[in-house]
Structure 1
């Protein structure tokens, strides 16, 4: 989830949990919301990892700063900093609880996205995820903004913030229901194509623009079957003609999510389509410099192989982070300058401010 939405959610929670009559030494409503805002943005301070390269950031993002085990320590640090540098010298004890709530709601918000959050770091680096919400969700953010605006109009009352928090919880719960429906669509596909006895697993990933947009992935070994669906739509949507401006781009993206009855399933292979692709892709995939990427991705597939003179680059993507009609995110590759040369890591920047390897997904597809 984007950092601004996290920060706003912290301010909303701080207002919703504010005491009706603050005691002596307690934070004012404004100070409480400020602490909640900053504390809820704090976990994303791990962006400094980008100074050490894209792959370390990819590997360690949502790690120790997103840990519920380390949450008390981070809340104590923020409380001390606020106490030390704020104009009105509050006791760190008056700040601590609000800071802890801000960090906690950030961690909770990230768990509901597909990226995965290491909530037990540093004792475990397993990434927990309930993929209900797309990383940028205007409805999620809108509920928070409306709640904060209503709370500011009713400065002496906290019920607008409480209602907004309840609506936010209800919205995420609704997304959970839609996630279950999307999973059932995938299970129907598995059953209809006889994949059930082959160890197939069904996953549903939230998509942009609408809570009804989902990407369904059926994973079976090195093969993936993907469908983009809209659970609400009943008629096929055509892309805008001609597409122009932002509305045209979003219209083109939206047109990829079709009714379940019109869903198109696309087949991806982890190591490419041809035998020559597969041999080179497997060699590149197994390189030590690719270890961190292999540990992070869930649905990796060969994006493309680029040859130049005696060198070659082999690029991979993760199906979790491809969006139709937009540049794919979080893609990496390995390159070498000659057939006997060492492999080195490669990457480039792309959609949503993340790392990508091409402007548009160029993988050859096979439709079922």
Structure 2
């Protein structure tokens, strides 16, 4: 989820924590737990600072080890110990317990996005991305804001957020049902389907669709059960040639390949250089595929520059390649 949603979820969880009698009856514990749920709801995303290095490092690591099983345990212990230093009269076990719940909830809700997390590490490095919920969901964000508002106006947060969480459980199940209906429609519409990747949008009934079929890749848009085919590409394996062999050794290309499950590639030979491009098919927007990787090399196969990331303005691609010169 986005940062704003994680913040309101942390505040709401701090109010809901009052269902715990130890938290409810002890001021120091209640105060420390409230802070812990907010901090715990944010701390797994500390890996966002990796973007300051470069996109390749960020893409390969964001929502990776910081969202893993060991990290969940580490973050909760770290948050509890630091806050216990400021609130020595708090109940340490319950402070840790709610820190753990906050961190776990952060990772849990991220699993339902199309981006996903590596939440199963160290047992598996597979990305767990269920694709039920958009990174920013107005209903989830708005319901938490409404709950916080009622709390400010004097409502009992234990009752308020119990109701909201029950509603959200139903909401998630409804999103799952919608997703299954879209998948069935796609299977009826496109032949020889091997894998369907759905990317929910901010519009409730609209989905971005990428399909891996036996011989082709399909890109579509779904609205309720209606499927609109936008693009199709022949499914061509990566060639075993010197140009491609050099390209896939580049750090930006490797980062892209580690993250993207469905993409097409192209090689373009210019008078002065060669460009190898990899285009992710999951994020089509306004006739453009904004997430891609590109490597530029000379005819002696020396890499001159490369880039991976999201660019929504095609004119900025050349500037990125100039800035990322090897």
The TM-score bracket by the shorter chain reads: 0.7 to 0.9
1:267 aligned partner? 232
2:188 aligned partner? 188
For 1:287 and 1:270, the matched residues in 2 are separated by: 22
2:25 aligned partner? 23
Is residue 2:297 matched to residue 1:343?
no
Q: Which has the higher contact order (CA 8 A, sep 6+)?
A: 2
Report SS of the residue matched to 1:180: helix
1:215 aligned partner? 208
- Contact (CA 8 Å) 1:224, 1:268: kept in 2 or not? yes
For 2:294 and 2:29, the matched residues in 1 are separated by: 50
2:219 aligned partner? 226
For 1:201 and 1:17, the matched residues in 2 are separated by: 44
TM-superposed deviation, 1:11: 2.1
Is residue 2:77 matched to residue 1:76?
yes
1:247 aligned partner? none
2:62 aligned partner? 61
TM-superposed deviation, 1:357: 4.2
For 1:85 and 1:329, the matched residues in 2 are separated by: 46
1:305-360 per-position Cα deviation (integer Å, ceiling 9, x unaligned): 6666512332222122x242286444221111x11132366226xxxxxx324515
2:194 aligned partner? 201
Aligned in 2, Cα 1:270/1:359: closer, same or farther, shift over 3 Å? farther
TM-superposed deviation, 1:278: 11
Aligned in 2, Cα 1:2/1:345: closer, same or farther, shift over 3 Å? farther
5+ residue gaps, structure 2: 316-326
Write out aligned runs for 1:42-191 (5 A): 42-85=43-86, 90-190=90-190
**TM-score normalised by the chain length of structure 2:** 0.83
- Contact (CA 8 Å) 1:347, 1:357: kept in 2 or not? no
2:274 aligned partner? 312
Report SS of the residue matched to 1:205: strand
Aligned in 2, Cα 1:202/1:144: closer, same or farther, shift over 3 Å? same
Aligned residues: 312
TM-superposed deviation, 1:116: 2.3
For 2:279 and 2:58, the matched residues in 1 are separated by: 17
Report SS of the residue matched to 1:158: helix
1:149-189 per-position Cα deviation (integer Å, ceiling 9, x unaligned): 22332344411111111122221111111110110111002
For 1:10 and 1:141, the matched residues in 2 are separated by: 12
**TM-score normalised by the chain length of structure 1:** 0.74
